[in-house]
Amino acid sequence: MKITSKPFGVTRDGQEITEYTLSCPNVQVAVLNYGAIIRSIIVPDRNGKPVDIALGYDNLAYYEEDSSTNFGALTGRFAGRIREARFPLNGEEVILPPNSGRHHLHGPFRNKVLQASVCGGSLVLSGVSPAEEEGYPGDLSFSVTYTLSDDGILAMIYDADTTADTVVNLTNHSYFNLNGHSSGDVLGQELQLGASHILENTDELLPTGEILPVANTPFDFRRLAPISQGFPLQGEQMEFAGGYDHCFLLDEDAKIAAIAHSAKTGITMEVTTTQPAVVFYSGNFLMDHPYRGKGGCQYDAQHGFCLETQHAPNSPNMPEFPTTTLKAGEHYHEATLWKFLTLK
């Protein structure tokens, strides 16, 4: 694998941004030190033609201005919604800014300019979230390490330490379209998830706490099935989200968290993770943003899907879920591997 770099613009406050390209024989991944954004993923189709399967922008200004899509970004401090933008911690209430109606969603990491270093064939992007940034306790030192192996596996390793007890839930928010980022909707592409259950959502896309079996529902992706199986919208859960935007709880014996496949291009993606869940989002609100994507294309609803490996949304308010509390002196470490291959 080799890593090259080139300038990618200057932020509004004058900071220079660099695009790093990780290359192996068949896969190229471009990453910005702005928000640790994955800007492109180029994989050959079954005819050897290179296809960019990640949605994104050609210029830095759009990434700065777009506050809703989080294309390719490191998501944190807490991926997912936190109910009423508050949660209990050590007997006190932590209050966050509401940025999704009356709730808190994701946090500020997508806009951070990160320190970059190339270490032993890996790209390491690191930063500090100071105490009380958006209300979160503790100075949080964090990093995400990208490594692309010669067999087309992109490893994403997340690490963090805190000076005071806090909550941490990091993921990546890439949108994929295995037919090519500008090819239209993803409904005909196939998906498999190692999950027999999902978390039920409220109409504000927060977990109710109820765990629902996927059997005999549009959420049954235990075997490869077209994303279109839930469309037109079937049932209240799909209607609340305008499609899929649900937390799939990974089975304990699941060896692979997710597989996505395009019969058109032959491009396939396999996902493994240390995380307990995958939020599958079918890009339901992509029609609501005014910015044109790479090459001037217009993204619309369901033109990309996300597979966000993480802990459950609103976990700090739901003690029955696995904890997302990171205590001072403890170390946060999670990993997700994306394997890209092409089937003939």
Q: Can you tell me the distance from the alpha carbon of 327 to that of 163, in angstroms, rounded to the nearest whole number? A: 8
| Torsion sign, CA atoms 52, 55, 58, 60 | negative
**19 in catalytic set:** no
Q: Can you tell me the distance from the alpha carbon of 266 to that of 323, in angstroms, rounded to the nearest whole number? A: 38
Catalytic residue among 103, 104, 106, 173: 173
Two structure tokens written together for 342: 């092409």
Cα–Cα distances (Å) from 299 to 234, 272, 274, 288, in that order, read 24, 28, 31, 10
> ∠ CA 293-294-295 to the nearest 5 degrees?
115
Q: Can you tell me the distance from the alpha carbon of 157 to that of 224, in angstroms, rounded to the nearest whole number? A: 27
Among residues 227, 271, 281, the alpha carbon closest in space to that of 80 is found at: 281
**Across the chain, how many H-helices and E-strands are there?**
2, 27
**197 in catalytic set:** no
Catalytic residue among 246, 308, 311, 334: 308
Among residues 33, 41, 36, 1, the alpha carbon closest in space to that of 16 is found at: 33
| Sheet arrangement for strand 277-281 | 207-213, 195-201, 245-250, 277-281, 306-310
Pairing of strands 207-213, 171-172: unpaired
Pairing of strands 74-75, 78-82: unpaired
Active site residues: 173, 308
